[in-house]
Structure 1
Amino acid sequence: MRFQSNERILLIGDSITDADRRQDPEEIGYGYTRLIRDYYTVTYPQKNLSFVNKGVGGNRVTDLAARWKEDVLTCNPDWLSVSIGINDVWRQLDNPQMEQVYPEDFEKVYYNLLKQVKAQTKAKIILMEPTIIEEKINSDGNRMLIPYVKVVHRLAETFDAVLVPTHEVFINFLQSGQGIELTTDGVHMTSVGNMLMAQTWIKTLS
């Protein structure tokens, strides 16, 4: 258990993190963030941990940059968990005419965001690998994700961050041939997908 009493954990990312948080009276959303919050609330009630969801649907790393000061730096959390990269790849597939965020741009922007966190806050950093794009291991999306996953690994090492191997775990699950759907559309999570994300996050932080 890495968390100390009364710490605040901020989770930021795209729609997978967002999970309709604006429709949720608790503003935690209905995805993996809720499962993580509920686990720690039930297991360690004496810790009095608080979880803040700052996911926004459709976000790429460049969108995080546009709201980083307000949603991260100003909040000054004790822990910052980042899950980003799916839309940086997905937009290349479903909207190729728009300006794209390729791996080198992804790394440059992401690096700058984490550098700001280290310089301006006390937050410890948690980096989640982007999950999957389609439930076929060798889909175009999953092949294109590989360099983005590698960027997350490099940044985790550079910033001494906790690395949550969500892409690896999802691929391993698909390879097991269970035939259980993890996503509703190749990207957004089913309840099983959310549970796999939350379980991986919790195990990594244990």
Structure 2
Amino acid sequence: MSKKRIVFIGDSITEWGRFEDSENLGNNYVRLIHDHLLVTNPNHFPEIINQGIGGNRITDLAARWQEDVLDLQPNLLSISIGINDVWRQLDNDASIEQVLPDQFEKIYLELIQKTREHTEAKIILMEPTIIEEHIDSLGNEKLKAYVNVVHKIANLFDLPVVPTHQAFLEYLQSNATYPLTIDGVHMNNAGNYLMAQTWLKTIGLL
């Protein structure tokens, strides 16, 4: 029996360190999920492929979907996107065409439909995490619409959602003082652990 293949696709939060890593996994939540699955079931350990690329928005995923997802024929596909779709609205770069929630939803739907048509993959959607470690930051306010899109699509296709945004908000609401990011967006080890833990719990592996 061939190994099961899990593909993680997303932006820099998924990519973090993978291009400097001989295993192409990096130092991120994907690595922690990899290590958990390895030590808990070493005889049936899946192949894990990290397809995160820094700066990506949903439009960038669409441009590379064939090569980086469909051609790989994953058994399980995990998608984490949305942070840069919002971030590019905050950095006031007039040269960049914005991806607003309606377009985000349209493209996301197309990607899910293509994946269902051309693969047998089980698809897992992840909520975009946070922009600044303040619940009421402008970034987090704008993220709400994108989180809602993820849930709308999940309901439409009966897909599981990893509640990573909610997990971070709950942590912030606890008034914990230890940060989860190095800059308000990119994870430190604690943030990566929270993402990995939430992912594993969602799919019943923790």
TM-score range, shorter chain: over 0.9
1:205 aligned residue: 203
In the TM superposition, 1:1-206 aligns within 5 A as 6-97=3-94, 98-206=96-204
| One-letter amino acid of the structure 2 residue matched with residue 109 of structure 1 | I
| One-letter amino acid of the structure 1 residue matched with residue 184 of structure 2 | G
CA distance, structure 1, for counterparts of residue 32 and residue 42 of structure 2:
15
**Further displaced range: 105-114 or 88-97:** 88-97
CA distance, structure 1, for counterparts of residue 159 and residue 123 of structure 2:
5
Normalised to the residue count of structure 2, the TM-score between the two structures is 0.96
Q: 1:44 to 1:135 in 2, by over 3 A?
A: same
CA contact (8 A) 1:5 1:49 kept: no
- Residue ranges of structure 2 left out of the alignment (5+ in a row): none
CA distance, structure 2, for counterparts of residue 149 and residue 39 of structure 1:
27
**Further displaced range: 153-162 or 35-44:** 153-162
| One-letter amino acid of the structure 2 residue matched with residue 166 of structure 1 | T
CA distance, structure 1, for counterparts of residue 145 and residue 125 of structure 2:
15
Q: 1:48 to 1:99 in 2, by over 3 A?
A: same
Query: Could you tell me how far 1:96 is from its partner in structure 2?
Result: 3.8
CA distance, structure 1, for counterparts of residue 187 and residue 22 of structure 2:
21
Query: Could you tell me how far 1:70 is from its partner in structure 2?
Result: 0.3
Q: 1:168 to 1:5 in 2, by over 3 A?
A: farther
CA distance, structure 1, for counterparts of residue 114 and residue 75 of structure 2:
14
Q: 1:194 to 1:5 in 2, by over 3 A?
A: farther
Number of aligned pairs?
203
Aligned Cα RMSD in Å? 1.2
| One-letter amino acid of the structure 2 residue matched with residue 82 of structure 1 | I
* Identity across matched positions, percent: 57
Normalised to the residue count of structure 1, the TM-score between the two structures is 0.96
Query: Could you tell me how far 1:95 is from its partner in structure 2?
Result: 3.5
CA distance, structure 2, for counterparts of residue 181 and residue 31 of structure 1:
16
- Residue ranges of structure 1 left out of the alignment (5+ in a row): none
Q: Which SS does the other structure have where 1:110 is aligned?
A: helix
Query: Could you tell me how far 1:27 is from its partner in structure 2?
Result: 0.4
CA distance, structure 1, for counterparts of residue 45 and residue 184 of structure 2:
36
CA distance, structure 2, for counterparts of residue 111 and residue 173 of structure 1:
30
